[in-house]
Chain A
Amino acid sequence: MGRSETPSQLKGALAKAPSGISGLDDITLGGLPRGRPTLVCGGAGCGKTLFGMEFLLRGALEHGENGAFIAFEETPQDLAQNVRSLGFDLDRLVAEGRIAVDHIHIDPQEILEAGDYDLEGLFLRLGLAIDSVGAKRVVLDTLESLFGGFENQAVLRAELRRLFRWLKDRGVTALITGERGDGTLTRQGLEEYVSDCVILLDHRVHGHVSTRRLRIVKYRGTTHGTNEYPFLIDRTGISVLPATAMGLDHAASHERLPSGVAQLDAMLGGEGYYRGSSILVSGTAGSGKTTLAASFANATCERGERCLYLAFEESRAQLFRNMKTIGLDLERWQERGLLRFEASRPQVHGLEMHLANLHKAVAQFKPGVVILDPVSNFVASGAKADAEAMLVRLIDFLKASGITALLTDLTAGGSAREATDVGVSSIIDSWLLVRDIELAGERNRGLYVLKSRGMKHSNQIREFLITAQGIQLQDVYVGPEGVLTGSMRAAQEAREAAALAARAGEAARRQRALQARRSTLEARIAVLRTEVEALEGEPGPERAAEGRIS
C-alpha cells in the first residue's frame, strides 16, 4: 500500500528501450522491446542501416547503453563516414569503448563446403563484440547476407533460430535488418524468427517526389500506432512524424487577434480571429490573399509577437518590396527578429519534408502566428490525397501548439468556388473568400466571411481595396440598381449626390418663389388696407342724411 506504480513498472508490463529516434518512441509508446529482437525490413536505400546505426549511437550517447554493430555489408570505415554527415563521431565512440563494430565479410567465391558445419564463429564474434563494450544493444545489418554466403539452407535456418534464442538469452535489445522480399516482409522470411516487433520501412516516389514511410507491422504485447508514418533523413538523423497520432483535445483560447485590417475585424465580430484558430483565405489569382496575409503578419509583429511566414511562391525580397508599396514595412520586423520568412518551392521537397521543416522551425522560432502562402501549391508537388493528409496534420499540429495559422489557397477558374482544391475547408475555423466581381468591364475584389466559428460575423460582401495605406474594406452599393462595385459604385454614388443636390436646389427655388409670391400678396394686402382706411376717413352720404334727420 502507498506504493505508486506507473504503468511501465506494473508487473508483467513489457519493458522498452527508447530508440532515441525522434518520433518513433511516441508511436511505440516508449521504444523497442527491451531484451528482445526487433526486425527492421525494407527495400534498398530505405534507411535500414542508418536506422540501426542511430539506434546504437543514440543509445550510447543519450541512454547510457553501449552497443555492438555487426555489419555484413559495409566496412567500419564506410559506416563511420556515413554517420559523420549526421554529426556522429563513430570512431570516437569506438575508441572510447562505447560501441563495437565488427564487419563480417563473407565471399561465397572463396568458400567451399565439405561436410557439416555451424556458424559458431558468428556467435563467438557477436559475443566478443558484446563483451568488449558491455553492449546492451546489438544491430545485425543485414543478416540476410548469410544466405548469399552459405549453400546449406538447413544449417542456416537452424543457426538463425539459435541466434535469435541466443540474443534473447543474452538479454540484449537487438535490431536485425532484412531486405524486403517479393510479397514477403523479408527475402529470406526472417519475420518467422522474430515474433516481438517488426518495423517496415518504405521509400516511395510519387510525381518525382520521394517519401519515406515507416509502419509498425507488429509489436507483441503492447499497443502502438498502426498507421504509416512518414519519416525523413536529414542532417540530424531520422525523424518520424507521428502528427496523425494527435487527438482533437487542443485547448480553445478566448483571446482574439486583430487581423491587421480594422474593417475586417469589424466583420469578425469586432475583434478579429481567435488565437490558435486556423484561418483560410481563398480566392482567385490576384485577389489579394497575400496582402491579407501580410497585413496579419504585420499586425502580429506590431503586437511584439513572432510570426513565421512560409512563402511558396514569392521570394522574400519580392514580397517585402510589394508590401512596401501598400505601406507594410515587413523588413523592420525581420530585422528585429519578430518575423521569420522562409521561401521555398513546394516541389523541392516531399510533403513530409515540408512538414518536418515546419515542425523544426516552430520548435526553434516559437512563433505565435504561422502563415502558409499558398497551400494550394502542395497539390502540385504530390498526390492530392497526400497533400490533404499533410495539411490536416499540419493544421492539427499548429492547433495543438496553440499557434494561429493563416493559410492562403488559390482557387482555380474564373470565379472563386466555395470549395478548396486542397480540401481542408472543413477543419478551418475562419474562412475568408476574396473573389473578383466583374461588372461593366471592371474587375473588383469582394470579400466575404464564409464562416467563422464561435463568433458573430458579418454576412455582407465588402469591397476590398488595396491602397497605399494598406487594405480598405468598403461597403458595397446595394440598391435598386443591384450590387455595384468599383467605378460603378462611385458613379452611382455621384449620381445620387447630384440628384440630392438637384432636389435640394429645387426646394430652395420653390421656397424662393413662394417667398416672392407671399411678398407680392402681402404688398397687395397692404395697398388694399390703405385704401380701406382712406375710405373710412371721408364723411359719407349716410352721415349727412343722418344729420338732416336730427
Chain B
Amino acid sequence: MNAKHPAVQIEAEVWRLRLYVAGQSPKSLTAIRNLRKVCEEHLAGRYELEVIDLLTNPRLAKDHQIVAIPTLVRDLPNPIRKIIGDLSDADRTLVGLDLVAKSVGSS
C-alpha cells in the first residue's frame, strides 16, 4: 500500500500536528487515542504532536479559528490541513492527512 505513495517526500519531512480538544471529554480522548495510533503506524519517529486543551486556554480557539472539537491541524508539511472529528474514521483521517491516495477515502 505504501509503495504507491511518494514515500521519499514524506520521509524527508518532519510532521507537525496540533490537536485541539476540550478537556477530558470522550470525543477528545478518542481523538487523542486515534491520532497517536495513526502517527505510530505511518509517521513513527518523524512527527511532533501538540495537544491543546481549549478549556484551559479558550483564547486559542479564537486566535486559531477553531469551531469544531476535536480539530486536528497539520501545520507541516505544507499546505495546512484541518480535520475535524474524533478520527474514528481511519480512512478519512489518512486521506485528510495526505497519507494515502484520495481514492481510498472516497469509499
Q: Could you list which residues of chain A lie within 8 angstroms of chain B, going by C-beta atoms?
A: 102, 104-106, 110-122, 124-125, 127-129, 146, 149-150
Residues of chain A lying within 8 A (CB to CB) of residue B95: 112
Interchain CB contact under 8 A, A112 and B96: yes
Residues of chain A lying within 8 A (CB to CB) of residue B83: 111-114
Q: Besides A104-B65, A112-B95, A113-B92, 11 other CB < 8 A contacts?
A: A110-B82, A112-B84, A114-B89, A115-B30, A115-B88, A115-B92, A116-B30, A117-B68, A117-B71, A119-B68, A120-B69
Interchain CB contact under 8 A, A128 and B61: yes
Main secondary structure of the interface of A (DSSP, over half): mixed
Interchain CB contact under 8 A, B68 and A118: yes
Q: Give the residue of B61, B82, B85 whose beta carbon is less than 8 angstroms from that of A115.
A: B85
Residues of chain A lying within 8 A (CB to CB) of residue B92: 112-115
Question: Beyond A112-B92, A124-B61, A128-B62, is A117–B54 a contact (Cβ under 8 Å)?
Answer: no
Interchain CB contact under 8 A, B55 and A124: yes
Interchain CB contact under 8 A, B71 and A114: no
Interchain CB contact under 8 A, A117 and B86: yes
Question: Nearest chain A CB to B97's CB is how many angstroms away?
Answer: 9
Closest B residue, CB atoms, query A105: B65
Residues of chain A lying within 8 A (CB to CB) of residue B65: 104-105
**List of 5 A-B pairs having minimum Cβ-Cβ separation, nearest first:** A115-B85, A115-B88, A114-B92, A120-B69, A112-B96
Interchain CB contact under 8 A, A150 and B96: no
Question: Beyond A121-B71, A124-B54, is A114–B27 a contact (Cβ under 8 Å)?
Answer: no
A146 to B55: give the CA distance in the assembly, Å. Answer: 22
Interchain CB contact under 8 A, A125 and B58: yes
Residues of chain A lying within 8 A (CB to CB) of residue B22: 120-121, 124
A460 to B67: give the CA distance in the assembly, Å. Answer: 80
A118 to B67: give the CA distance in the assembly, Å. Answer: 8
Number of interface residues of B (CB under 8 A): 34
A113 to B34: give the CA distance in the assembly, Å. Answer: 14
* Interface status of B43 (Cβ within 8 A of chain A): no
Interchain CB contact under 8 A, A114 and B54: no
Question: Beyond A120-B22, A124-B22, A127-B58, is A115–B31 a contact (Cβ under 8 Å)?
Answer: yes
Q: Give the residue of B55, B67, B69, B86 whose beta carbon is less than 8 angstroms from that of A104.
A: B67
Q: Give the residue of A113, A121, A127, A146 whose beta carbon is less than 8 angstroms from that of B66.
A: A121
Question: Beyond A121-B67, A149-B67, is A114–B62 a contact (Cβ under 8 Å)?
Answer: no
Which of A106, A118, A120, A129 is most buried by chain B, counting CB atoms within 10 A of its CB?
A: A120
Interchain CB contact under 8 A, B84 and A111: yes
Residues of chain A lying within 8 A (CB to CB) of residue B85: 113-117
Residues of chain B lying within 8 A (CB to CB) of residue A114: 83-85, 87-89, 92-93, 96
Question: Nearest chain B CB to A132's CB is how many angstroms away?
Answer: 9
Interchain CB contact under 8 A, B62 and A112: no
Question: Nearest chain A CB to B24's CB is how many angstroms away?
Answer: 13
A-B contact pairs, 13 of them (CB 8 A): A106-B67, A111-B83, A112-B81, A112-B84, A114-B84, A115-B89, A115-B92, A116-B30, A117-B86, A118-B27, A121-B54, A122-B67, A127-B58
A121 to B25: give the CA distance in the assembly, Å. Answer: 13
Question: Nearest chain A CB to B74's CB is how many angstroms away?
Answer: 10
A438 to B68: give the CA distance in the assembly, Å. Answer: 82
A121 to B93: give the CA distance in the assembly, Å. Answer: 20
Q: Contact mask B13-56 → A, CB, 8 Å, 1/0?
A: 00000001010010100110010000000000000000000110
Closest A residue, CB atoms, query B67: A121
Closest A residue, CB atoms, query B79: A110
A88 to B93: give the CA distance in the assembly, Å. Answer: 46
A115 to B20: give the CA distance in the assembly, Å. Answer: 15
* Interface status of B59 (Cβ within 8 A of chain A): yes
Residues of chain B lying within 8 A (CB to CB) of residue A125: 58, 61-62, 67
Q: Give the residue of B27, B82, B88 whose beta carbon is less than 8 angstroms from that of A111.
A: B82
Residues of chain A lying within 8 A (CB to CB) of residue B55: 124
Residues of chain A lying within 8 A (CB to CB) of residue B20: 121
Residues of chain A lying within 8 A (CB to CB) of residue B59: 128
Q: Give the residue of B54, B86, B87, B93 whose beta carbon is less than 8 angstroms from that of A120.
A: B54
Residues of chain B lying within 8 A (CB to CB) of residue A150: 68, 84
A125 to B63: give the CA distance in the assembly, Å. Answer: 10
Q: Give the residue of A104, A106, A110, A116 whose beta carbon is less than 8 angstroms from that of B27.
A: A116
Residues of chain A lying within 8 A (CB to CB) of residue B87: 114-115
A122 to B66: give the CA distance in the assembly, Å. Answer: 8
A112 to B25: give the CA distance in the assembly, Å. Answer: 21
Interchain CB contact under 8 A, B68 and A116: no
A276 to B20: give the CA distance in the assembly, Å. Answer: 69
Residues of chain A lying within 8 A (CB to CB) of residue B88: 114-116
Which of B58, B59, B67 is most buried by chain A, counting CB atoms within 10 A of its CB?
A: B67
A113 to B92: give the CA distance in the assembly, Å. Answer: 7
Residues of chain B lying within 8 A (CB to CB) of residue A105: 65
Interchain CB contact under 8 A, A128 and B68: no
Question: Nearest chain A CB to B49's CB is how many angstroms away?
Answer: 16
A127 to B59: give the CA distance in the assembly, Å. Answer: 10
Residues of chain B lying within 8 A (CB to CB) of residue A106: 67
Residues of chain B lying within 8 A (CB to CB) of residue A118: 27, 68-69
A234 to B14: give the CA distance in the assembly, Å. Answer: 56
A111 to B69: give the CA distance in the assembly, Å. Answer: 12
Closest A residue, CB atoms, query B94: A114
Interchain CB contact under 8 A, A121 and B82: no
Interchain CB contact under 8 A, A115 and B68: no
Residues of chain B lying within 8 A (CB to CB) of residue A119: 67-69
Residues of chain B lying within 8 A (CB to CB) of residue A146: 67
Residues of chain B lying within 8 A (CB to CB) of residue A120: 22, 25, 54, 68-69
Q: Give the residue of A102, A121, A127, A129 whose beta carbon is less than 8 angstroms from that of B68.
A: A121
Which of A113, A119, A146, A149 is most buried by chain B, counting CB atoms within 10 A of its CB?
A: A113
Question: Nearest chain B CB to A163's CB is how many angstroms away?
Answer: 12
A146 to B95: give the CA distance in the assembly, Å. Answer: 23
Residues of chain A lying within 8 A (CB to CB) of residue B82: 110-112
Which of A114, A118, A121, A146 is most buried by chain B, counting CB atoms within 10 A of its CB?
A: A114
